[in-house]
Amino acid sequence: MKSRLRAGGLLLTVWLLTGIWPVEAGEVDAGRRIFAACSVCHDTGPANKVGPTLLGIVGRKAGTAPGFRYSRAMKRSKIVWHEDALSAYLADPQETVPGNAMAFPGIPDQGQRMALIAYLKTLK
């Protein structure tokens, strides 16, 4: 019982200090499966494809992946890709950054977006 309380206290401390709740491994795996559709245009390594690499996307300023030619809308967006910004963009890319070049309608399901973002957070 004491070890459970200590583990729970540790998780709470991590969350309070960082604002990041530890991600379930299953959520990352689900996000990896969702990403399979994204991989047609995006790479998880250093290379750009039709879309920019998503390696290191979390925390990166929009429109700044080296070697990728972004739309003016994306370069001017001033977005930093953190969880809330990624979720909004993945829900409706054209609403979030009008005029961006990504031809993708979005992911309406919040759970799927959160799983995908959990996976993207692992790409460092």
Q: What are the pLDDT digits (tens) for 10-66?
A: 433 444 443 444 457 799 999 999 999 999 999 999 999 999 999 999 999 999 999
Domain count, the chain: 1
* 30, part of any domain: yes
Q: Which domain holds residue 64?
A: 24-120
Q: Is 5 a member of any domain?
A: no
Residue 25 is predicted with a pLDDT of 77
CA angle 121, 74, 49 (to 5 degrees): 65
pLDDT at 23 (0 to 100): 54
Decide if 19 is inside a domain. no
Domain CATH code at residue 110 = 1.10.760.10
Whether residue 38 is contained in a domain is answered as yes
Whether residue 1 has pLDDT greater than 70: no
**In a domain? residue 9:** no
Of 91, 92, 94, 95, the residue nearest 114 (C-alpha): 91
Residue 49 carries which side chain, given as an amino acid letter? K
Residue 6, pLDDT score: 41
Structural domain includes residue 66:
yes
What is the overall mean pLDDT for the chain?
Answer: 86
